[in-house]
Amino acid sequence: MVSIITVVYNNKHGIEKTLNSVFAQTYTAIEYIVIDGGSTDGTLDIISRYQDKIDILISEPDRGIYDAMNKGLGLATGQLIGIINSGDFYEKDAIETVVNSCNENPQVAIFHGILRVFDASGEFKSIIGNHSSFLVKGMIEHPTCFVKRAVFLKYGVFNLAYKSSADYEFMLRMKKLKVSFMFIEKILSNYYTGGISFQTTALLETLQIKQQYGLMSRYKKVLIANIISLRAKLKV
């Protein structure tokens, strides 16, 4: 069993593409969990059309995207867990590809692959994919990641102290704990730019996380300290 979690809040224009990409998977042993933050724009009307295909649907206010993800993780029962946010979508054979890799490499705990990127208008931008060694520089492609449920149970979920980059902190934490990663050299997911990852807060959090895990030079540590101090003074 593979659990797929989709988190959404007021995204009526993107949610259907995401839902259909899960329903169209060539692998069928899927538990699908949708966590809505209490949408008021018609998103829930779209989701309700597919309610018979969704195993668990929760719609209620949350404390942000990672709080919503953690709710889904607490409900998931599959051996593997993937998270695909509203607006993004899987390749049709994405889950089958990951399950095959998991069966062939039972010692691996986290699987990730290549991501196709579009801009907000839907125009193709790039194809990116990085081995876990890239984590010293930045986040690997989260929409392609599948993590064994046992990892979350043993080491915990996303740290809510981070509002925009908790996925990066989680992956660095797993790397530090010597959890095994496997890069699958195949496009697994598709992503639209312009979301929370591109906000200034996310960039600042990434710097803080790098500092926490010893990935910053002395110069950059001074720089981030100055930025944090300035933000505190300006209350931004």
Question: Are 227 and 145 members of one domain?
Answer: no
Please state the separation of Cα 20 from the chain's center in Å: 18
Structure confidence by residue, pLDDT tens digits, 38-67: 999 999 999 999 999 999 999 999 999 999
Q: Reply yes or no on whether the pLDDT at 186 is more than 70.
A: yes
What confidence score (pLDDT) does residue 235 get? 57
b/e map 77-87, b = 16+ CB within 10 Å: ebebbbbbbbb
Q: Reply yes or no on whether the pLDDT at 195 is more than 60.
A: no
Question: Are 181 and 203 members of one domain?
Answer: no
Using a pLDDT cut of 90, give the percent of the chain over it: 81
What range does the domain containing 226 cover?
Answer: 199-236
Question: Are 50 and 84 members of one domain?
Answer: yes
Using a pLDDT cut of 70, give the percent of the chain over it: 89
What confidence score (pLDDT) does residue 5 get? 98
Q: Reply yes or no on whether the pLDDT at 196 is more than 70.
A: no
Question: Are 210 and 141 members of one domain?
Answer: no
What confidence score (pLDDT) does residue 228 get? 61
Q: Reply yes or no on whether the pLDDT at 69 is more than 70.
A: yes
Question: Are 180 and 216 members of one domain?
Answer: no
Question: Are 37 and 113 members of one domain?
Answer: yes
Question: Are 183 and 209 members of one domain?
Answer: no
Tell whether the torsion through CA atoms of 104, 69, 120 and 87 is positive or negative.
positive
- Cα–Cα distance for residue pair 96/109, rounded to 1 Å: 16
What is the reported pTM?
Answer: 0.91
What confidence score (pLDDT) does residue 148 get? 98
Question: Are 213 and 184 members of one domain?
Answer: no
Structure confidence by residue, pLDDT tens digits, 86-112: 999 999 999 999 999 999 999 999 999
Structure confidence by residue, pLDDT tens digits, 205-232: 898 899 899 997 654 656 666 666 655 5
Question: Are 206 and 191 members of one domain?
Answer: no
In the chain, how many domains are there? Answer: 2
Q: Reply yes or no on whether the pLDDT at 236 is more than 60.
A: no
pLDDT band at 177 (very low <50, low <70, confident <90, very high): very high
Question: Are 109 and 223 members of one domain?
Answer: no
Question: Are 146 and 213 members of one domain?
Answer: no
Q: Which residues contact 188 (CB under 8 A, 6 or more apart)?
A: 90, 91, 94, 97, 98, 112, 113, 114, 115, 143, 144
Question: Are 129 and 231 members of one domain?
Answer: no
**Mean of pLDDT over the chain:** 92
Structure confidence by residue, pLDDT tens digits, 115-133: 999 998 889 999 999 999 9
Domain CATH for 99: 3.90.550.10
| Closest listed residue to residue 155, CA positions, set 141, 140, 176 | 176
